[in-house]
Each structure stands twice: as structure tokens, then as C-alpha cells.
Amino acid sequence: EVQLQASGGGLVQVGGSTRLSCAVSGFTWDDYAIGWFRQAPGEEREGVACISTESGSTFYDDSAKGRFTMSVDSAKNTVFLQLNSLKPEDTAVYYCGSRRAPYYSGTFYCAYPNGMDYWGKGTQVTVSS
């Protein structure tokens, strides 16, 4: 069974940085989609950065481009999201989600989070001014 556990985050000042980690178990790294999503209070869950072996490239939402970097360390079964130049509007619970045997690109799965099969518990990022 695939399990995901996000960690990191916390309280960060505007302009600061933090790194989120997602520990993955029960997962095969040869054919997958995995991504970072976030959900602010009263808002829908949205994709931040997603990668799929279907396309081989990482998609970043416009809000994340140039500030966030997603990386995968398959040897350590961990996915990271480096968040830099944080803004108050980045405040949200951040989740990692995945699915096996993806049909579509990372762009699709970030746009349609319901396409993911597995979710971990989220981790809170609060950006204070």
C-alpha cells in the first residue's frame, strides 16, 4: 500500500524559505505521478508542482515558478519542495499526492488533483509579515 507523509513547513517570515519533505513507501519509481498541492482555508486544493513519468518533466503552477523547486530522491524514497521568497498568500496546508501508472502529464495532475490516488496528511506553512 502506498503511504505518503509530508513534513517540514511551520511559521516563516515573508521573504523567507523552508523545505517540505514527503516520505513515500510502498511505491515504485518507474511509472508514477507525484506532486505537491496546497489548500488554504475556504479554498479548493490546488496543484503547486507535479511530475509524471508520462511526460518526464516537472510542471509548476504560475504562483510557484521561479520560487519553488520540486525534487525527487528515489533512493531515499523522498520528494522535496523547496519554497523560497515566501509570500503571505503561500499560507496553506501542503500535501503530497501520487498515483501509479499515470495516463497524463504533471500539468494535468496539478490541474486536476482528483486524478491522484494517494494522499498523505498535510503540513502547515504559515507565512507571517
Question: What tens digit of pLDDT does each residue of 87-111 get?
Answer: 999 999 999 999 988 889 999 999 9
Count of other CB atoms within 10 angstroms of residue 19:
14
Note the pLDDT of residue 37: 98
Note the pLDDT of residue 54: 85
* Model confidence at 56: pLDDT above 90: no
* Model confidence at 27: pLDDT above 90: no
* Model confidence at 72: pLDDT above 90: yes
Contact 33, 50 (CB under 8 A): yes
Half-sphere CA count of 40, side-chain side, radius 13 A? 8
Q: Provide the residue count of the chain.
A: 129
Average pLDDT of the segment spanning 109-124: 94
Which of 48, 2, 5 has its CA nearest to residue 25? Answer: 2
67 confidence band (pLDDT: 50, 70, 90): very high
